[in-house]
Structure 1
Amino acid sequence: MSKLKIDVGLVADVAERLGAHPFKGWFYGDSIGFEGLIAAAKILDDPKWVNFSHGFFRAWATRMTPFQPDDNTAPGHVMCDIVEQTGDVILRDAVLELGRHLRSRRKHGQVSITFEDTLRSLRQPYGGAGLSDFEQKQMENPGAGIWLDCMHFDAPFFAHLSRIDPEGGWARAAIDEILGYKPLLFSAETGLYRHYWLEDVNKSYIDGWGRGQGWALLGLLDVAHYVPATFAGVEAVKAEALALARRMLDYQLNDGNWHCMVHEPRSGPESSTAAFMATAFFRGIKMGLLPEAEFVEPAARAYEAMVANLDSKGNLLGVSAAVMSALVEEHYWHVPLNRIVPWGQGPVLTAIAAQASAQT
């Protein structure tokens, strides 16, 4: 594997831009955002961002109840990392309480419901794409649903808790949760996961969202990493990760990027997918899960594309705003770009760390 040089100054700039984000605790992107800050601390050999994250987590721990609808987006996996690094008993108790709360939510099959009222995410489409009469009626009360993003939240958190609380049943919860998404969201036609599923119609929606595949693949890899290798179901998780990673190779563009909707050129460019995939590919290679001969070149191209998408101040350009969701694919083609957000800055830092780790 050819060694890619790390620009420490650029890492510091990316982390500073990320650390300036107005984190509120919690929202989509916090998981990869704080993971990126912890990665930056390691790359820079400076505890600044560990201390920043630890302080933020402790502040949350003092006011975490009553629990809120978006608490499933908490960076539970990263908080577990801080517990292991610091031995913080108060934070340990808080993450265990959060984990028990999240595990107790209503499920469909093996997967926790993301939104009991999906109007918290579903919106009228960007770009003026029209809805059918049926879809407009559906928007009045779309019911409950499950979202792809969550493959990066609950299951990796539970998997990491299995190391902190080995007798708590967390490994089983992690395996069941991560594998439970496939019957709901997987599209055999594209070989990818759809964005969401609605309970009232028992139907999944929207093929090929690139960043969504990143959430899914990183979640699968995290579960495979943290759950003991001999635990029942780990091999199935590894197989799913390998299959999804291989399918993403089929959609990678010559310049190392992916389309926003990876199967649809009309959806236009979007840069966070390359950062997610560089992270995932290098992590998978390091784990021995993704064959180096097959993935090292695509990983390097994704990494180089990511670097090319950075400006001189450490901003990852071309990242879409919070996508939310809609009933039609055209919505995703028109989400505003060039947002400086945790789901852009964070995976840049995790990709740099993963690339460096894969070389050792």
Structure 2
Amino acid sequence: MTLNLDEYFNAYASDYSYYKGGSWCYEDGCLYRGLIALYGASGNRQWFSHMKRLVDGQISDNGELRGYSIPEYNIDHILPGRALIALYKADPQPRYRTALDHLLRQLQSHPRTSAGPHWHKLRYPHQIWLDGLYMALPFKVEYAALIGDNALVDEALDEMLTGLELTFDAQSGLFRHGYDEERLQAWANPQTGLSPAHWARSIGWLCMALADTIEVAPPSEKRDALSQWFASLLVRLEALRTADGRWLQVIDQPQLDGNYAESSATAMFAYAFIKAARLGVKNRDAAVGIKALTSLEENALKPNASGRIVLQDICCVAGLGGFEGNYRDGTPAYYVSETLRDDDIKGVAPLMMAHAERLLAVADVSEQTARIAS
């Protein structure tokens, strides 16, 4: 069977059901990011139309977001706001701006750690998670550009740099999923406050946060510092690939019983490597990301029992602390115990983004070849 990613993505978006019944959530926001990336790379209006149809189904005429409440203080809810920015730029309806202002008000009052970055959620107090950096900070920079607020850009870059410093594990050269500044959680190291393992997707969220922030932020010393962090992390990640060019669920423990090549993280890293090369991040080559994307196509996109192509080997969800009656201790054994789900949006959306970056890379090579020939 010949795989056509555009057909796969179009069928996925056409059949997509809101992840949480239509309530405003980050999972839907991941899809919107993928569709925006495809539209930007290809110019094919169908991707923008899918995104607009779905977002419009979650927002009222007066700009209220379905199921959204500021006092919940869930940092995840900020991510889909990037779709509102794209929609407002294309069609400046007041309801899009009103909804954006709701999200900005959340960030203005969202609790913060003493070092500056926001708590991950109200129910996860005093904690920074890598995924939260992706959920909030590229939005801040994009929204700041929309309204011309240079102070908000500076704030976002400071938060990203602080988040990197607090979650970095110097011994491994990697970042830990979570940090508890109060050392109250059982998963938190009493000395460092860090969670105990390196979960690939959490580092994938971080890579996408760095790529997207560097792309949008204006030139500055802080942006340069983020690029240096990003370049160093990509060097370390390149050394941790599997033989076929993917990455493991617990990224630095190949001997761990039950460890496996996880598709969402692999797609995120593919996106990060290809985009880093486009952005001119030091010594980065798109080839690592393109190989990872090709490996996903060859090894993880397979027909299911009904014959439909699906993306396999996606960790459905993983976190830290109490959730649905269980305590997630953040150990390597915990991460490999979490359920896998075919075609989960947290894998499909980064696959869309990585494919979009590959399209841009191919177009750039073609343009350079044409210039040389002329």
Superposition TM-score tier, normalisation by shorter sequence: 0.7 to 0.9
- The alignment-based identity, stated in percent, is 20
Partner of 2:147: 165
Partner of 2:180: 198
CA distance in 1 between partners of 2:69 and 2:264 (Å): 33
Task: Assess if the C-alpha contact under 8 Å between 1:116 and 1:145 holds in 2.
Answer: no
Does 1:147 pair with 2:129?
Answer: yes
Q: Of 265, 277, 297, which aligns to 1:285?
A: 277
Task: Assess if the C-alpha contact under 8 Å between 1:83 and 1:92 holds in 2.
Answer: yes
SS of residue in 1 equivalent to 2:318: coil
Cα 1:71/1:298, change in 2 over 3 Å: closer
Partner of 1:354: 357
CA distance in 2 between partners of 1:104 and 1:71 (Å): 12
Task: Assess if the C-alpha contact under 8 Å between 1:18 and 1:345 holds in 2.
Answer: no
Does 1:69 pair with 2:73?
Answer: yes
1:2-41 residue pairs with structure 2 within 5 A?
7-16=5-14, 18=16, 21-22=19-20, 24-41=22-39
CA distance in 2 between partners of 1:85 and 1:283 (Å): 24
Cα 1:156/1:25, change in 2 over 3 Å: farther
* Alpha-carbon displacement from aligned partner over 1:13-68 (angstroms, at most 9, x marks no partner): 34335456445434443432221133345544324313224403533932444543
CA distance in 2 between partners of 1:282 and 1:157 (Å): 21
Quote the offset at 1:276 in angstroms. 0.7
Structure 1 stretches of at least 4 aligned residues deviating more than 6 Å after TM superposition: none
Does 1:188 pair with 2:170?
Answer: yes
Task: Assess if the C-alpha contact under 8 Å between 1:251 and 1:263 holds in 2.
Answer: yes
CA distance in 1 between partners of 2:285 and 2:133 (Å): 22
User: RMSD of the TM alignment (CA)?
Assistant: 2.4
Does 1:332 pair with 2:321?
Answer: no
CA distance in 1 between partners of 2:90 and 2:234 (Å): 30
Q: Which amino acid aligns with 2:7?
A: G
SS of residue in 2 equivalent to 1:320: coil
Tell me which of the two structures has the higher relative contact order, counting C-alpha pairs closer than 8 angstroms and 6 or more residues apart.
1
Q: Which amino acid aligns with 1:213?
A: I
Task: Assess if the C-alpha contact under 8 Å between 2:75 and 2:136 holds in 1.
Answer: no
Task: Assess if the C-alpha contact under 8 Å between 1:192 and 1:207 holds in 2.
Answer: no
Does 1:58 pair with 2:64?
Answer: no
Quote the offset at 1:295 in angstroms. 2.4
Partner of 1:221: 211
SS of residue in 1 equivalent to 2:310: coil
Q: Which amino acid aligns with 2:90?
A: Q
Q: Which amino acid aligns with 2:142?
A: H
Partner of 1:256: 245
Quote the offset at 1:12 in angstroms. 1.5
Quote the offset at 1:113 in angstroms. 1.0
SS of residue in 2 equivalent to 1:25: coil
SS of residue in 2 equivalent to 1:197: strand
Task: Assess if the C-alpha contact under 8 Å between 1:26 and 1:71 holds in 2.
Answer: no
CA distance in 2 between partners of 1:155 and 1:236 (Å): 16
* Alpha-carbon displacement from aligned partner over 1:242-281 (angstroms, at most 9, x marks no partner): 1111211011112111110110122223111111111111
SS of residue in 2 equivalent to 1:51: helix
Task: Assess if the C-alpha contact under 8 Å between 2:24 and 2:58 holds in 1.
Answer: no
Partner of 1:132: none
CA distance in 2 between partners of 1:53 and 1:222 (Å): 22
State the number of aligned residues: 329
Partner of 1:276: 268
CA distance in 2 between partners of 1:178 and 1:13 (Å): 36
Q: Which amino acid aligns with 1:163?
A: A
SS of residue in 2 equivalent to 1:315: strand
Q: Of 318, 321, 336, which aligns to 1:323?
A: 318
Moved more, 200-209 or 190-199: 200-209
SS of residue in 1 equivalent to 2:285: helix
Q: Of 73, 96, 104, which aligns to 1:91?
A: 96
Quote the offset at 1:283 in angstroms. 1.2
CA distance in 1 between partners of 2:173 and 2:73 (Å): 31
Cα 1:40/1:224, change in 2 over 3 Å: closer
Cα 1:211/1:234, change in 2 over 3 Å: same
Quote the offset at 1:7 in angstroms. 4.0
User: Normalization by structure 2: what TM-score?
Assistant: 0.80
CA distance in 2 between partners of 1:84 and 1:253 (Å): 41
Q: Of 114, 117, 138, which aligns to 2:120?
A: 114
- Could you tell me which runs of 5 or more consecutive residues in structure 1 were left unpaired when the two chains were aligned: 119-142
- Could you tell me which runs of 5 or more consecutive residues in structure 2 were left unpaired when the two chains were aligned: 184-191, 321-327, 364-374
Partner of 2:188: none
Q: Which amino acid aligns with 1:319?
A: I
User: Normalization by structure 1: what TM-score?
Assistant: 0.83
CA distance in 2 between partners of 1:161 and 1:187 (Å): 31
Cα 1:117/1:270, change in 2 over 3 Å: same
